[in-house]
Amino acid sequence: MGLILTKVSKVFKEFNVQLNLEVKDGELTTLLGPSGCGKTTTLQIISGIIKPDSGSIILNGNEITGADPWKRDIGIVFQDYALFPHLNVAGNISYGLKRKRAGKEKITEAVRNYLKLVHLEGYGDRTIDSLSGGEKQRVALARALAPEPGILLLDEPLSALDASLRKSLRREIRRIQQQLKLTTVYVTHDQEEALTISDSLVIMNQGRVEQHGTPPDIFNKPATKFAAEFLGHSNLIEGEVTAVEENSGIKARLKDNTEINAPYFPGFKAGDPVWIFFRSGRSELCSHREDTENTLPGRLLLKEYYGTHTLFEVDTNGTIIKAESRHPLSPEKKELTPGQEVFVSVRREYCYLIERLSRI
């Protein structure tokens, strides 16, 4: 049945959270946003560490808004593991089950099963301080899972680990979450982690949900300028809608009167201020003008090598446009140097329009 937060609010002196959020049953939903946007506070509201001022929290059909944390049927994994140092690995994993007064046999079996699930068979007698960071986080995961909670909450669980371990452990977490079909809320500020691990993604900004959708939806169709800029390299150009035709699409005028063609999106009309959005991987760079639509002349500002691709930045009449070209580069692109006159273009189907609040 999942988790539903309705009009949940919490006011601190200098910050407040206001949330409507639905986490579907068996899905992994990630809260993503910049530092201080309220991700951890949201997780603490769900877990009961922080009590909201108003609103309701329903977990798997049960109202838990005012319930104590230990009565919420929740498993939590923290960034710093927070394992009990005086207990060994088996003692940590069995902790929740003992609190639930599970029988000895059930506990022994659960410890064996969860050690196997996190690939730590034979580690039961080890002390916590004999474990590596990655192993500690696996134990923390097994400890959270052993009481079979109705929801798993993970607060930046990989931030303390090095890059390659982060990648392998995030795949492990996803594998286990899918295997157990466990409703999960995952907090991170790492975009790649969020895109790869999630069924659905919540972009948070200043204590509110900026956008909630699948990773491809948010990547390709950001609802706001903030969501567009937060995820991946993006281009946002100020424009104004000049014509809307359901069949042929939308035309928008830029500051310098260049016309850009975009597909039809409902809800826009002539005169509307918009951001014309496209990912940098979607724009093409040329040293000569080609007869393609949405071509802007400019001067190459920057050329950066990234291994798999090169990033170009072009100044088009005061608007900087980024274009990524995958390797190997064409001989023409290899020759390009900053300062040169170039042309950058984007096909209309790659353009997406975002409402802009102020006029040019």
Residues that bind ligand ATP (CB under 6 A): 12-13, 15, 33, 35-41, 189
**Token match 């003992």: residue?**
98
15 vs 305, beta carbon nearer ligand ATP:
15
Q: How far is the CB of 325 from ligand ATP (least distance, A)?
A: 33
Q: How far is the CB of 223 from ligand ATP (least distance, A)?
A: 19
Q: How far is the CB of 45 from ligand ATP (least distance, A)?
A: 9
**Token match 């990912």: residue?**
279
Whether 199 contacts 28, CB under 8 Å: yes
Q: How far is the CB of 254 from ligand ATP (least distance, A)?
A: 35
77 vs 351, beta carbon nearer ligand ATP:
77
Whether 94 contacts 114, CB under 8 Å: no
- Rounded to whole angstroms, how far apart are CA atoms 55 and 289? 57
- 10 Å Cβ neighbour count for 356? 18
206 vs 242, beta carbon nearer ligand ATP:
206
Q: How far is the CB of 14 from ligand ATP (least distance, A)?
A: 6
Q: How far is the CB of 154 from ligand ATP (least distance, A)?
A: 13
Point out which residues pair with 203 in neighbouring strands: 32, 211
Strands laid side by side in the 319-326 sheet: 283-286, 341-346, 295-305, 309-316, 319-326
**Token match 């977990």: residue?**
59
Local structure of 119: helix, strand or coil: coil
39 vs 251, beta carbon nearer ligand ATP:
39
178 vs 205, beta carbon nearer ligand ATP:
205
Q: Which long-range contacts (CB under 8 A, 24 or more apart) does 33-39 make?
A: 33/189, 33/203, 33/204, 33/205, 33/210, 33/230, 34/189, 34/205, 34/230, 35/189, 37/204, 37/205, 37/206, 37/207, 38/204, 38/206, 38/207, 38/208, 39/155, 39/187, 39/189, 39/204
34 vs 338, beta carbon nearer ligand ATP:
34
User: Residue type for 50, please?
Assistant: I
Q: How far is the CB of 144 from ligand ATP (least distance, A)?
A: 19
40 vs 137, beta carbon nearer ligand ATP:
40
Question: Is residue 95 within a helix (H) or strand (E), and if so which, with residue range?
Answer: helix 89-99
Q: How far is the CB of 4 from ligand ATP (least distance, A)?
A: 20
10 vs 303, beta carbon nearer ligand ATP:
10
Whether 77 contacts 152, CB under 8 Å: yes
